[in-house]
Amino acid sequence: MTRIALLLAGIAPLAGAVPAVAQSMDHSMHGPAPAPTAAPVKEPMDPCSPEHAAMGHCTPKDAPADATPVTADGAATSSGSGTDLPPGDGAAPEPPGNWYADRLYSKAAMDHARHAMMMENGAQTIAFVSFNLAEYQARHGRDGFRWDGEAWYGGDIDRLTVKSEGEGIFGAGIEGAEVQALYSRAIGPYFNVQAGIRQDLGPGPDRRYATVGFEGLAPYWFEVEGALFLSNKGDLLGRIEGYYDQRITQKLILQPRAEFNLALQDVPETGVGSGLSDLELGLRLRYEIVKEFAPYVGAEWARKVGETARFARAMGDDPGGVSIVVGVRGWF
């Protein structure tokens, strides 16, 4: 222990002398210390890009106060708007136009382009032909046929429409048919009003009618159609019909259909009685091979009522019955 104490006592003076030597070193050999320099300052980015300046949305920081904005091709534009305007009580600049391309192209070129765009997006004329019904009807030994179709030509607002429907018996010819020529005008996004003439064809007296009606898409996707007919003999008739397409799959569609015919007075010449004269209720199942062509099968119940049924019995006809139908529905 005595030896260790003596050793520590000898080392202690040396340990105290080291800091003193370090502090007394001469640094003159290194020359004067360089003065500290400031870190370079990065200039902030100008938020006004050349594209925004060309559109008159802002003014670059390095632009003179009276600079006039220009487009990418060097053409001068109107002065800025909003907070880009200098203070004062001068007249406000013209508001920017709705068509930015007008700054790059002539008015004549842009008018032509806009007219072509309007024609291609709603103002074009279209021709359309459809057969809602084209079917064979099995009627207890009195098999027959029936059709119901229309064609129109025009635009979204105004159209010329031709409608035709009728039915007959194989071997006996047409029982009754009609053709309508109508002017159709849209009164909203879902309905058209129609007016024109109707001509009856087939056996029976010759009748022409002034016609006014409507057709369209009712709430819940019901297709409806109605019309009033005033004959050249003063007879007033009415009709309302509708159907609904219930999609079972994307291609298989079940369609219930109903039609009601009415008359204001008895018309013995055509076998029509006053009030509700006849009605038809049908159910058809079709398969759309393509949207434009769909074969179908179904059944239809038709019935003449009131005085119309009495006129039918007097002529030896059955006032009602059920038919099994097979047909096609198509359009082009």
Residues 127-172 have pLDDT tens digits of 999 999 999 999 887 899 999 999 999 998 999 999 999 999 998 8
pLDDT at res. 58: 66
Residue 19 has pLDDT above 60, yes or no: no
* Structure confidence at residue 297 as a pLDDT band (50, 70, 90): very high
Instruction: Please choose, from the candidates 323, 11, 321, the residue with its C-alpha nearest in 3D space to the C-alpha of residue 146.
Output: 323
User: Residues 278, 282, 283, CA angle at the centre, nearest 5°?
Assistant: 170
pLDDT at res. 7: 46
Residue 8 has pLDDT above 60, yes or no: no
Residue 276 has pLDDT above 50, yes or no: yes
Mean pLDDT along residues 210-225:
97
Residue with more model confidence, 165 or 72: 165
Burial (CB < 10 A; 0-12, 13-18, 19+), residue 171, is exposed
* Structure confidence at residue 75 as a pLDDT band (50, 70, 90): very low
pLDDT at res. 187: 96
Mean pLDDT, the chain, integer? 82
| DSSP characters over 118-172 | HIIIII--EEEEEEEEEEEEE-TT--EEEEEEEEEEE-SSEEEEEEEEEEEETTT
Q: Where are the domains of the chain?
A: 146-234, 237-332
Length of the chain: 332
Q: Where are the alpha helices (DSSP H) in the chain?
A: 2-23, 50-54, 107-118, 306-314
Question: Cβ distance 63 to 73 under 8 Å?
Answer: no
pLDDT at res. 311: 93
Query: Which letter, b or e, does each residue of 68-82 get, where b requires 16 or more Cβ atoms within 10 Å of its Cβ?
Result: ebebeeeeeeebbee
Q: What is the pTM of this model?
A: 0.67
pLDDT at res. 323: 95
Residue 83 has pLDDT above 90, yes or no: no
Residue 56 has pLDDT above 70, yes or no: no
Residue 39: its H or E element? none
Residue 17 has pLDDT above 60, yes or no: no
Instruction: Please choose, from the candidates 312, 306, 210, the residue with its C-alpha nearest in 3D space to the C-alpha of residue 265.
Output: 306
Structure tokens that stand for 180 in this block: 């309508």
Residue 9 has pLDDT above 60, yes or no: no
> Which phi and psi (to 5°) does residue 312 adopt?
-65, -45
Mean pLDDT along residues 82-93:
72
Structure tokens that stand for 283 in this block: 């159910």
pLDDT at res. 330: 97
pLDDT in tens, 223-239: 999 999 999 999 999 99
pLDDT at res. 191: 97
Q: Which one-letter amino acid corresponds to residue 36?
A: P
Question: Cβ distance 298 to 325 under 8 Å?
Answer: yes
Residue 310 is classified by DSSP as H
Mean pLDDT along residues 116-132:
87
Mean pLDDT along residues 90-108:
79
Please identify which residue in the block is written with the tokens 């039918």: 312
Burial (CB < 10 A; 0-12, 13-18, 19+), residue 211, is buried
